[in-house]
Amino acid sequence: MKALSAIAANAALSFLILISTFAVTGAQERTCLRGVNIAGAEFGGYEGPYGESYIYPSDATLTWAASRQMTTIRLPFRWERLQSKLHSALDPAELARLKQTVAKAKQHDLTIILDPHNFAEYRDVKIGQGSVTVEAFADFWRKLGSEFSGDPRVLYLLMNEPEGVTATTWFKAAQAAILAIRGVGADNLVLVPGTIWTGASHWFDDQPGGSNAEIFKGIADPANNFAFDIHQYLDADFSGRNATCPRTGDALKALEAVTKWMRQYGYQAHLGEFGGTASHDCLDGLAQVAAYINDQSDVWIGWTAWAAGDWWGDYALSLQPQDSIDTLQMTVLERFMTASDGSRAICGAASN
């Protein structure tokens, strides 16, 4: 996408009207995991050197996140960098970078969602194919799970946006990973995505073996401390790759259907990704989605918008401040970060 400047110029005036139209309600008190993705550690080829191919969040970015009253960040990284060979020990240097980032974020009173940003694959091979077995995936989480075991400020997202695998295959991998995490004594909150990019708009889609809705109603967690990870963009094809957001209404209907499903089965969810450009319809959509999630706090434990990050440059969905000035998207979202009295929201871990 192109730079934000042209779109932002057209949106600025109407934006001033927009932000006053959405009430910030008391329901936010319980929907408390609110923040952004901070991209960078998943960038580049998995063999590229640190500082050239990829980067973890800077101190300045973490400070900015906390200053905007965020309570959480979603931290993408690459499985292949943290575990260079399947079934091997975790890479000491990469693990140290991850742990350092977690420690710095915690200093800012942020909760961290660990996000292996791999789309259900390892070195371009999907989970369940060849050497990338379900057990290999479980082994990865057995090792990573033990590193942050029992830390309530560290949440385990099993995988970013699984795609190219069926719900039945992914269910087996997710279930094995949960059991591996619990097997090392880690009771951290686990976030479980579905397939087809875990989109709310795809939750009920037919696929071989059954839809996400059909398959994942049977997920089991011995610690009973998990929520589903759901994504939903607002553009024409729900990809987040287009400059406008004409399908906010359809996106909200999809979120409503998922919310109903969660209530039916007694589950909770977290909106791990949603986002848009600085066009007026995207700003409007961002506000509507954040307001909806906050208002459905019996189901939704929070949200992380896509995305901040030190290396975004002119990426149209960037939430990273430019020359110390927040983007229009961030200015919209900040109104939904805080509790109803304007203070930083506080919450405990979710459980089902």
Please report which confidence band the pLDDT of residue 25 belongs to, taking 50, 70 and 90 as the band edges. Answer: very low
Is residue 187 included in any domain, yes or no?
yes
Contact 320, 278 (CB under 8 A): no
Cα–Cα nearest to 4, from 283, 224, 227: 283
Taking only the tens place, the pLDDT of each residue in 204-231 is 999 999 999 999 999 999 999 999 999 9
Decide if pLDDT at 352 tops 90: no
Calculate mean pLDDT across residues 89-99: 99
- Which among 161, 163, 214, 334 is annotated as catalytic? 161
**Assigned domain for 349 exists:** no
Mean pLDDT of 113-139: 99
Q: Report the pLDDT value the prediction gives residue 338, as an integer from 0 to 100.
A: 81
Does residue 307 lie within any of the structural domains?
Answer: yes
Residue 80 annotated to the active site: no
What average pLDDT score do residues 313-322 get? Answer: 97
- Domain count for the chain: 1
Tens of pLDDT, residue by residue over 46-55, are: 889 999 999 9
Q: Which domain holds residue 148?
A: 4-334
At 23, the pLDDT band (50, 70, 90 cuts) reads very low
Structure confidence at residue 32 as a pLDDT band (50, 70, 90) = confident
CB 1 within 8 A of CB 318: no
239-258 average pLDDT score: 98
Decide if pLDDT at 147 tops 90. Answer: yes
Q: Is 51 helix (H, G, I), strand (E, B) or coil?
A: coil
Query: Would you state the pLDDT for residue 8?
Result: 43
Catalytic one of 42, 256, 273, 334: 273
Please list the residues that pair with 156 across neighbouring strands.
114, 190
The residue with greater pLDDT, 338 or 75, is 75
Which whole number is the average pLDDT over 103-132? 98
Give the mean model confidence (pLDDT) for residues 79-85. 98
Give the lowest-confidence range in 89-103, 277-291, 330-344: 330-344
Q: Is pLDDT at 27 greater than 70 in this prediction? A: no
Q: What is the pLDDT of residues 129-140, one digit of tens each?
A: 999 999 999 999
Output the pLDDT for position 5.
40
Say if residue 19's pLDDT is above 50.
no
Token readout for 248 is: 């906010």
Q: Is 29 helix (H, G, I), strand (E, B) or coil?
A: helix
CA-based nearest residue to 329, from 44, 76, 15 = 15
Asked whether residue 341 is assigned to any structural domain, the reply reads no
Catalytic residue list contains 42? no
Q: How confident is the model at residue 182 (pLDDT cuts 50, 70, 90)?
A: very high
Q: What average pLDDT is seen over the chain? A: 91
Confidence tier at 339 by pLDDT (50, 70, 90): low
Q: Note whether residue 290 is domain-resident.
A: yes
DSSP letters for 153-166 = TEEEE--SS--SS-
Q: Does some domain include residue 346?
A: no
pLDDT at 15 over 60: no
Is residue 225 assigned to a domain? yes
* CATH code: domain of residue 107: 3.20.20.80
What's the rounded mean pLDDT across residues 107-112?
A: 97
- Tell me whether residue 113 is in a domain: yes
pLDDT at residue 226, rounded to an integer: 98
- For residue 37 the two structure tokens come to 């993705």
Q: 327: pLDDT confidence band, cut at 50, 70 and 90?
A: very high
Phi and psi torsions of 318, nearest 5°: -65, 140
Judge whether residue 271 has pLDDT over 80: yes
